[in-house]
Amino acid sequence: MFQTAFKYYKSRNPPPTFENVLFIGMDNPNLQPVQLNCSDESNFWGLRPPKEWKVYELSTRPGLIMLANPFSCAGQRHWMMRCLVDYPTYPNTTNLSNLNQTNREAGNSWWEMLRSIPNATERRKYAKQLRWATLGYQYDWTNKVYDEARKERFPSELCVLVKYVATALGYDRFSPEAAIVNYYPIGSTLAGHTDHSEDDQLAPLFSFSFGQPAVFLIGGTTRDEQPDAILLRSGDIVVMTGASRQCYHAVPRVCTDAELPKECGNSAERWEETDSLQKQPDTDEILDEVQQYIQYSRININVRQVLKENQHTLQPVL
């Protein structure tokens, strides 16, 4: 059932319809509004106040919490820039780390190499090669484990953002310890899987989307269950808590606005409007290039707590 749905939304010919896809915030009985009980009136830069957030729980997947874009346009641009300029740099690991060993020794980052390519077609081709970066605990993709010996410093600003969102949702003990930043060119996919490599598999998983829209599938604890399809747009946040934390999920489609019903709106409006961003002269050009990149890509930051409460190191792998 899960794989059938995955193939349906992945299909190019014929393309899928979106009539059964949930849009966060739409009028649907399965999207139950969640009222936040926030006593903290402080605001985090780049986010609207929590009292203005639109939060929902998917009734068919208990524990799946969804926030409809709480970011300002400036906030979105800021996190896009962090994901492109800062996170794919040493000592963080990327899928290009081995290929970029020479560049790293020369002091050149992936972003610097991208900016140095004058031809737009070649630059876009190079940009598509970056698919993931790991932050904090570095993930061993071959053995599907974290390694205590490969624990890097988790980005402090991202830590503060995630803890702010977690606390607003009632998870004030959540500790951001690892993140995978996924870079999706339009047309790419992420196969169905569960996240079970963390020692603490009960702590929520936070997922932030930026850029182009994507279809997100969330099923049950086996591949035999029919999944729900959710449209994730720039700025949307998904939090997998409770029973949903152990569910199969996937991204069968990263698309453009042209493929979606008109009522979905224009994704670029979520990050291009002029607002409170205080530009620096040396960042204007970078922001322009970030916005060029995001025209054909989606970025996803998913943040995990690796250790159980009061646990200080990973359990040894036997």
Q: How far apart are CA 270 and CA 65, in angstroms?
A: 21
DSSP state of 194: -
Asked if 272 and 291 touch (Cβ cutoff 8 Å), the reply is yes
Asked if 63 and 240 touch (Cβ cutoff 8 Å), the reply is yes
**Four-residue CA torsion sign, 307, 313, 315, 316:** positive
Closest CA to 155 of 133, 185, 122, 131: 133
Check the annotation: does 284 bind a ligand.
no
Within 13 A of 293's CA, how many CA atoms are on the CB side?
A: 26
Instruction: Record the tokens describing residue 244, joined without a space.
Output: 């949903």
172: phi > 0 → left, psi -120 to 50 → alpha, else beta; which? alpha
Helix crossing, 73-81 with 284-294: angle to 10°? 90
Closest CA to 75 of 273, 240, 257, 264: 273
DSSP state of 281: T
Residue 113 CB-density burial (10 A; 0-12 exposed, 13-18 middle, 19+ buried): middle
Q: What distance separates the 2 farthest-apart alpha carbons in the chain? A: 56
Q: How far apart are CA 85 and CA 131, in angstroms?
A: 14
Check the annotation: does 86 bind a ligand.
no
Check the annotation: does 249 bind a ligand.
yes
Binding residues for Fe cation: 193, 195, 249
Binding residues: 193, 195, 249
